[in-house]
Structure formats: C-alpha cells, structure tokens
Chain A
Amino acid sequence: MTPEILHTISYEERLGYLRAKKEAQTREKLRRLGYMDEDDYGLVLPPEDFSWRPKPNHTNGSFYGISGWSKNFCDLLENHPVYVDPMDALAGRYMFLLNRMRSPVWPPELDYSHLKPEQEQYGIIHGIGNDQHLAPDLAIGLSLGWGGLLEKVRHCRNQHGPDKEEFFQAEEDTILAIQNWIRRTVNAIEEAEATETDPMLCENLREMAQVNRWLIEGAPRTFREACQWLAWFSMASRTYNRDGAGGQLDELLRPYYERDLRDGRIDDETTVFILACLLLIDTRYYQIGGPDAEGSDQTSRLSFLILEAAHRLKTTCNLTIRVHDGLDPELMRKGVEYLLEDRKACPRFSGDKALVEGFMRNGYSAAIARRRIAVGCNWMGVPGVEYTMNDTVKINVAKVFEVAFEEMMETTGVSPNIDELWRRFEDHLRKAVLCTARGIDFHLDHQHLNEPELVLNLFCHGPIERGLNVTNGGVDMYNMCIDGAGLATAADSFAALEQRIEKEQVITWRQIAEHLRNNYEGPDGRRVRLMMNTAEHYGQGDSLGDLWAVKISRLLTSLVKASPTPGGRNMIPGWFSWANTLALGKQVGATPDGRLAAEPISHGANPRPGFREDGAATAMVKAIAAIQPGYGNTAPIQLELDPGVGKGEEAVNNICSLIKTHVDLGGTLFNINIVDAQQVLAAHRDPSKFPNLVVRVTGFTAYFANLSPDFRQLIVDRIVREGNAVA
C-alpha cells in the first residue's frame, strides 16, 4: 500500500519511510517469533495466513542430499510471497531460512558417534553439518547474470558423465527457481505500477520493473541493476541456508557507478539511496577499502558513498573497513565519525597487516592473502576459491580447563600444582584439537551428502566446472577454522590458582576444589569466591592473567598448527565465541576465577567485563593484540565505549589511534559499540521503549529489544562495566 505522500518525495523521506517500515517489521518478528539472539538478517515475515513447510525425504522427517534440497528450495521459491514497495529502489524481500526448517540437520546413517564422547567432554562445537561460511566471488554473478550462470551450468553439464546428472540438474533448477522468483516479482511490480497514482513513484516502479525484467536473464549493466542483482543473490542465498557473506562492495560496484556517472545516468544522491536500499534488504557482511592484490589501496569515491548509505540508513549494517598502511586516512576518519554519531556499531575495522602476514604463514602469497577479505562475523575468506567452516568450529577451553583440573584433583598420588595442571591442560587441549580435526574431516567427507551448497557453488571457481560440491573438492583452498572460546575464563582461573595457592598460600588446592564442587556455597564460600575473583586477571596489563592468556593462546596455536587434520587439511586457529557464551557456559561448573557454575564463559578474545577499574580501552587493545594466534584468522576485540569518550575531531582522532595501534600491534578485527550505559540499563528494563537501539553483540549487530533477557544481560554487563568507566 502506498503511504500518504507529497508529490515529490526526497530520498531522505523515502529512507525515513523504509526505516520506519523495517522497525515495524522488526517488532512484528518479536511478536511472532519471540527473541532472536542473533543477527537481524533483514528477514521479513510472510503474511500471517501464508504457510509453507518443506517436504521430508527421510523417515526421520527431515530432508537431505541434492534432491532433497533442490526440490524444497525450488518449491519454496515457487511459492515465496513477492514483495514490492514503490518507495524502494530495489524489489524483493526474503522471508524464510530453509536450513532452519528441518530437523535433525544431519542424516543419522552418516554416523559420527565415535567422536561424540570427546566432543561432549571438551565442549566442542564440531561444525559437522554446518553450512555456508565461505566467501562467494560475486563478480562471477555480476559478469554472467542468472542467464549466463545457467548457460555455464549447462555447458559444464555437457562436459561430465551421467554420474553428475543429479548435481547439475539441481544447479540448473536452482537458477531457474531464482529466475522465476524474479519473474513473478516483475509481474507484481507491473501491477503496482498500474495502480500507483503518484507520478514519481510510478516512474520508480516502471524503472524497477525494467531493471528486474532484464535481470531475469541478463548481466547487470547499470548501477541500479548491479545493486538489484546483488539483492537477488542475497535473498536467494539467505533463503537457501542463511548465507551472509558479501564481498569487496566498493570494487564490485565501482565499474557500474563510474560508467553511470560518466554517462549522466546517476548522481551521488541516487547512488547513496540505492546503496541504502541494498543494505536494508540484508545485513550481509561487506568489506570496503583495503589493498588490492598488489597492495594498492582500493578506496574510491564509492567507498565513501557506501559508508554514507549506512549512515543515512541507521539500522543494522555490517561494513568492515580494511585498515592497511596505504588506506586513505579520510575513509577511516569518516568511518569513526559515523560510528560515534550514529551509535549503530558500524563500521568495523580489520587489520590488514596481521591478516596478510598471518595467512602467508600457511604458505600463500601476499597477493592471495590480500584477497582474503572480511565477509563474516569474525572471519575472512578468499572469494570463490576457499572453503573454511569459519565461525562454525569451536573448542571451549574453559571446559578443557575443568577436565584437566578435575582429573588432577581426582588422581591419587599426584600432588596438585600449577605445572601439573598446565601439563594436563596441554594434554587435554591436544586431544580436543585432534577430535575437532577429525570432526572437520568427517564434515568435509560427508557434507555434500547432507547439504550441498547449491547457491554458493555457483559463485565459486571450481564446483560447476568440476561437478563437485564446494565442501567436497570443488575449490582449491581448504583452510579449516578452529576457534578457541573462553580464553579469559581459563586464563583467569590459572592466574587465580597460581596467585592465591602458590604465591600467597592463602588457600590450598583441596580447599578450592571443595569450593568449586560446592559452587562457592557453604561456609566461607562467598569470601573465597571474591578472593579468587579479585586475583590478577587477563586484560589488566602485565598481570598473571595476561601471561596465562598468552600462554594458552600460544598453546592452542601450536597444537592446531602442529599438523594438518588426519585427512590432510590445513587448520587455522582463532579466538571467537560468537553468541555461544551462554550455551558454552552451561557446560562448565564453577571455575577458580570466581565464575559460578553455568554462568556464561568469557566473550571471544575479550577480558571479562570489569577487567580494570578504569576500563582502559588501551589496556584491552594491548591485551588482545598480545594473544593473536597469527595465522590469518581473527581474535576480535569487542570494545564498549561510553559517548563520554567525546565528540568531534578529538574523539575521532583518539578512536582512530586505538584502532591503528591495535592493528600495528597485530590486531585483526576491531568492533566498537558506542552506547550510553544508562540507556542500555533503561532498555534492559523495558526494551519496548527503545525499539531502535542497535548493539554489536559479537560479530553481528542486533536490535537490543529482540534479544532475550539473558542475552541482554550479557550486553548490559559488558557495556555498564566497561563503557561507563571511560575517563
């Protein structure tokens, strides 16, 4: 329905309308779906009377394999409600995540029960059956269009024998389904155009129909067509399996922008509006700025316009500026300026130097390492040629610590001491890494039978040419991720034991073990818990906790890099917990850092909240720089700053300094929330009063009101105890 409008509506008014509509859609999601402890994704709900369910092809009620996915995806797109808004520059919204509509996610006959005991023992998120999490090369799609992609699939199909028929048929059907979705949307646009009374909106719909009609077959020619093509990719790929990886957005779109500008088809205001519409459709991760393969800065006028679009949109966006020595300093300053002004935790900043040098340690050239760009929560990927399982595989080192501690205390004849505990921790972490590596191999060997990447295969160099799924030899590079989680919990536990038992001798091993068993309840429990909690901890600077954190990170790194998986795949270590801190915490009893049983483990690579009384950002920046594993995967810093950090040039200068220094010291990814602690507290009490409050939870941003109370509490703890301490 067209809103009541003036004859000429400015882009600002149109964006205001679209933003308000998104906020209403977000409230609707909360009402109908309940809390979402994850990214907003840009997903829109279907009409309440619309219903679609996938058709199982397995007796357990789930669906698997090429035909299971192909048939359900095609059927979903065939029935997917179409979405047109005359105020929007781009057509379409997506309404489903197909991979969330089946259970169980793994076919029972592909049995990995032999891995489960150790996976459970060490709190391993094994990643078996997890999907996407690879970087597509969107240039493939932009250059070929859906019609060109179809031709490519048919051409390659002819090169292969009948054993690949099912695979190629499914890839063809995938493209045909997407084309049909666009075709049905074109019809809806034309219907809307026929009833639209406002001449300007009518003209907008006419152009929108023209753009989309062309895109059914053709490769995009103009900036608007290119953005609409990216929107269709985003919607299709999200619908298939929640894939959120973007690309180097400024470079992908620059040729279209420059050509349209030269030919007088576009101006910067229109460019910004179209970009804002693209960012509104999906919270996809895009990188801007940074070096090209030869090391020259890629910052262009369009990089600034993309930032400007996110600034004007003021919703959840995931843009990352790649900080390297040659970066246009104005792009960084502009990014920080908008970060401070908008308070939407956007953009983020990645550290090129450590990422490139680190990735090269895996045996790759600088040119390839520079192409490994930020396209996920915490992760990088080389578009179209690398498969990683990034952010899907984690070891809970707090749990590993617990296993080592309990074993030491229960072994008769062993006199507990910190060296013995470390030796056992090392031993169990080695086992955990090996078990995780076996899980990675198992996933790679079988995932194509479970869930083929029918959409993302199209945007990689190899799967279509070889007739192989991306998980199964379709691409050339397999660099498998292993992230540690709970670093501060483990490091602070080691530090507290060393300080209170061995250095100060104010408690014994047996006593602390008893207190842990009792969850610090009972006589003297409260005092002992405070005593352990106030020992030196990670993030304070040159503390015992800092030393243990470095030691643990180096151990994880050396164990992961000691050898490839048994199947011969390279692994890369990082530190990241995503939104799993609550769930991973529930696996672990009370710990010697004063943490109670089942409380969340520490967040990612961060020190625990309240790590220093002054909350010094510089201390956190240095602590997290010191624990980087250094092989090209990230250990992000999540910094909470109060708006009291200042405004104007000086504040921009200071935050740029924090980022640059972190990057110079080896930092890999920098996330910043600028949030008023009092506002967050008020929003925690009554989220409905703050429907627009956006926070970066971990790698992703979310509407605060849509987070569950437990999750909001995590954010509140971080922001109130760190951000508020800023001088």
Chain B
Amino acid sequence: MQTADPNANKARHDPLEKVPVAQEPEMTEGVITHIQRFSVHDGPGIRTTVFLKGCQMRCAWCHNPETLRRAAELQVFAELCIGCGACVERCRRQAHEVVDDSRVFHRDRCVGCGRCAQTCYAKALVLVGETRTADEVAQELFVDREFYESSGGGVTISGGEPLMQPEFTRAILALCKRNGIHTALETNFAREWSFIEPLLTLVDLFCVDIKLLDDVEHKKWTGISNRQTLDNLRRLDTARKPVIVRTPVIAGLNDRPEQIHAIVDWLGSLFNVIRYELLPYHPLGAGKYLALGHNQPPQWFKAPAPHIFEQLTQIASLQRKP
C-alpha cells in the first residue's frame, strides 16, 4: 500500500496554534479606512487592497467621502439605530443625547474616539479611520499570499490618497517586497516627485488617475491642478516603471469623446503605459455623505449611458500597447 507524502501538509499553518513573529515589527503608523480581501479590480490577479484615509483632492463626484479626511470620523446611520441608548452612556463628551425619545448626535463634540461605535451592535455608529502600524497592516495583507502566488496577484495600496501618508505607504510596500509580494499603488499622483521617487523600487505597478486633461476643468472639479500628476507621469516614464492610467467617467463631466481623445493623445508620448482604462462612475456615496454629516453631493452625477461608455472605451483602446 502506498502512503501519503509525509511532507504534504508541512507548510500548512495549524489554525489552533499561534504563529511566532519572525522579525522586528515595522512601527510606522498610519490611518486606514479598511482592508479588502479578494479584490479583483485593483490590479492583476487576486489582490488585497488597503485603503488609506485622507486625500488632497476634493472631487465633486467622490463616492468615498469617508476617505477624504485623515482623522477618524464617526459615521451615523440613523436608520439602523434601535434606540438602546448605549452610546449615550459610553460617550465622555456628551456627543450623544436622547431628547424626547430621539437620539441626537452633536458632531461638534465628537473627537472620533470610537467608544460609542464599539458598543453599537446595530452598526448605526461606525467609526471610520483606524490607526495601525505598517506591520499590523502587512500581517493582514499577507494572509492571502497563496492566492497572490497562484493568480499573479498581490497587494494594492489605495485610498484616499496613499501619497498623503508617504512614510506609512513606503513602510507597507517595503514589507511586501521583503516578502516577495507583488505591489500596486493606486494614486492621483498629485504630490511632489520627492514623495514618489523613494517608492520606485517598491512598487511593481502604478495605477494613476487622470480625471480630466484640461487643467481649468480639473481645478474646477477636483480643487487642484493636474500639472503635478502629468509631470510625475512623464518622470515615471523616464524611470521605465509600468503604469495603468485610468479615468473615472462621469456623465456630463468628462464623457465627451474629445475629452477622452485628448487623454489618449497625451498618453501617446509615454512608453510605460500598459493600459488605459475607463471606469464607469458608481453613484454610491450619498448615504455615506449623510452619515458623515456632510451635505449630499449634487444628484446629477451619474454613470455615463452604456452606449456612450462603449464608444469611449473604443477610443480608450486606441492607446497603443507597449
């Protein structure tokens, strides 16, 4: 009788045993909104994406308003509240009150400590923004490394804007590279080159957004110029680092063929663009805006009509392959 390979299970981790820490932990801290496993639209293969909190752009259509500010914030989903009153007891700053059987939240008193959210089992109060060390984040990112290996995937750092936390980003990337994991960075690239240069050896794939090529329009809709982004893309080309360029397409804002043509033409001078992708806008953010106490974004931001998006995709595909 043949017997099974005694080494077959050697590499498997016994879930009931603790794994010893192998090396000195990387203590650089940063703020993240969340970590998403089985991420299949943020680079090649199966990936885990960590979303960093804080962004310097203020895109009018942003559907992730919880990623704009760096500080932790309390999201209040009033419709989920069961009126148990636990938040009132937990809060040390009287940010929560019950007035005439209704729960009232004073955002101006809230410091984002999250004590109330810890006992809000109804998830009506959710703290977004968690301070973690790079090592803690990396340990979670490494959990799915078998899938990265078999799918050609890896880790993606996204946001918010990762370059707004450059040291934290660098530390996570370095840990990934040290462990042989493919890395991608999703960024608006609107920071000085000096923040990017130290990352060149740590990032396998850059994914950079060009929202609009016209700078006046860009300033109008995002709050800042696109000059830095375009300049950095040229430098990245010189550095021979591969990049996927992407444009989120919003109806009536950047869905005219000439707008996409202009980006395609501009990219024509670069040699490092693997692909130019258009991302149809998903209007998901209204509830999140309200939960954060912001005004709701203008309702007219919509996804482009399917036939228009198809036409734009054809134009985008004209971007030559390397």
Task: List A residues at the B interface (Cβ < 8 Å).
Answer: 353, 356-357, 360-361, 363-367, 506, 524, 526-527, 530-531, 533-534, 541-542, 546-547, 550-551, 612, 614-619, 621-622, 626, 645-646, 650-651, 653-654, 656-658, 660-661, 664-666, 726-727
Contact = CB atoms under 8 A, between A and B. Distances in A.
Given A547-B16, A626-B15, A530 B37 contact: no
A727 B42 contact: yes
Contact of B8 (A353, A645, A653): A353
Contacts of B45: 650, 653-654, 657
B151 A654 contact: yes
Interface string B139-164: 00001101100111100000000000
Given A645-B40, A650-B44, A727-B38, A550 B12 contact: no
What are the 5 closest A-B residue pairs judged by CB atoms, nearest first? Answer: A657-B151, A616-B37, A530-B121, A616-B38, A366-B2
B123 interface: yes
25 contacts: A357-B4, A365-B1, A365-B2, A366-B2, A367-B2, A527-B84, A530-B121, A541-B37, A542-B143, A615-B38, A617-B38, A618-B143, A618-B144, A618-B147, A619-B38, A622-B144, A650-B40, A654-B46, A656-B150, A657-B46, A657-B150, A664-B146, A666-B9, A727-B40, A727-B41
B239 interface: no
B147 A550 contact: no
Contact of B82 (A361, A526, A619, A654): A526
Nearest to A367: B2
Given A616-B38, A622-B144, A654-B151, 12 more contacts: A364-B1, A526-B84, A546-B15, A614-B38, A617-B38, A621-B147, A626-B15, A646-B40, A654-B153, A657-B46, A661-B150, A666-B12
A534 B86 CA distance: 16
Contacts of A621: 147
Interface in B4-50: 4-5, 8-9, 12, 15-16, 34, 36-42, 44-46, 49
B246 to A, nearest CB: 15
B15 A550 contact: yes
Contacts of B46: 618, 654, 657-658
B10 to A, nearest CB: 12
B41 A646 contact: yes
B121 A527 contact: yes
Nearest to B37: A616
A366 B5 CA distance: 11
A721 to B, nearest CB: 14
B122 interface: yes
Contacts of B295: none
B269 interface: no
Contacts of B194: none
Nearest to A365: B1
| Residue from the set B40, B42, B86, B122 with the largest chain A CB neighbour count within 10 Å | B40
A687 B44 CA distance: 37
A530 B83 CA distance: 13
B16 A360 contact: no
A658 B4 CA distance: 24
A364 B3 CA distance: 9
A726 B41 CA distance: 10
A654 B45 CA distance: 6
Nearest to A646: B40
Nearest to A659: B150
Interface in B103-154: 119, 121-123, 143-144, 146-147, 150-153
Contacts of B15: 542, 546-547, 550, 626
A660 B150 contact: yes
A626 B143 CA distance: 14
Contacts of A622: 143-144
Contacts of B2: 360, 365-367
Nearest to A529: B121
Nearest to A612: B37
Nearest to B152: A653
A541 B38 contact: no
B40 A726 contact: yes
Contact of A665 (B37, B122, B146): B146
Contacts of A658: 46, 147
A547 B152 CA distance: 29
B112 to A, nearest CB: 20
A538 to B, nearest CB: 11
A531 B123 CA distance: 10
Nearest to A524: B84
A360 B4 contact: yes
Contacts of A551: 16
Nearest to A619: B37
A533 B122 CA distance: 10
A212 B49 CA distance: 60
| Residue from the set B38, B123, B144 with the largest chain A CB neighbour count within 10 Å | B38
A360 B5 CA distance: 11
Nearest to B9: A666
A664 B1 CA distance: 23
A534 B118 CA distance: 11
Contacts of A615: 38
Nearest to B3: A360
Contacts of A660: 150
A657 B119 CA distance: 38
B7 to A, nearest CB: 12
A534 B16 contact: no
Contacts of A617: 38
A592 B84 CA distance: 19
A645 B44 CA distance: 13
B49 A727 contact: yes
A530 B122 contact: yes
A357 B8 contact: yes
Contacts of A356: 4
Contacts of B34: 614
Contact of A661 (B4, B40, B121, B147): B147
B147 A727 contact: no
Contacts of B41: 646, 727
Contacts of B119: 506
A366 B4 CA distance: 8
Contacts of A654: 40, 45-46, 151, 153
B150 to A, nearest CB: 4
Nearest to A614: B36
| Residue from the set B46, B86, B123 with the largest chain A CB neighbour count within 10 Å | B46
Nearest to A532: B121
A415 B3 CA distance: 47
B15 to A, nearest CB: 5
Contacts of B144: 618, 622
A371 to B, nearest CB: 13
Nearest to A620: B38
B123 A614 contact: no
Contacts of A653: 45, 151-152
Contacts of A618: 37-38, 46, 143-144, 147
Nearest to A356: B4
A653 B49 CA distance: 19
Nearest to A353: B8
A612 B82 CA distance: 22
B30 to A, nearest CB: 20
Given A547-B16, A653-B45, A727-B42, A527 B82 contact: yes
Nearest to A625: B12
B258 to A, nearest CB: 29
A541 B141 CA distance: 12
| Residue from the set A524, A531, A551, A666 with the largest chain B CB neighbour count within 10 Å | A531
A392 B201 CA distance: 58
Nearest to B49: A727
Contacts of A366: 1-2
A357 B121 CA distance: 44
Nearest to A653: B151
B42 to A, nearest CB: 7
Nearest to A500: B121
A506 B121 CA distance: 12
A616 B36 contact: yes
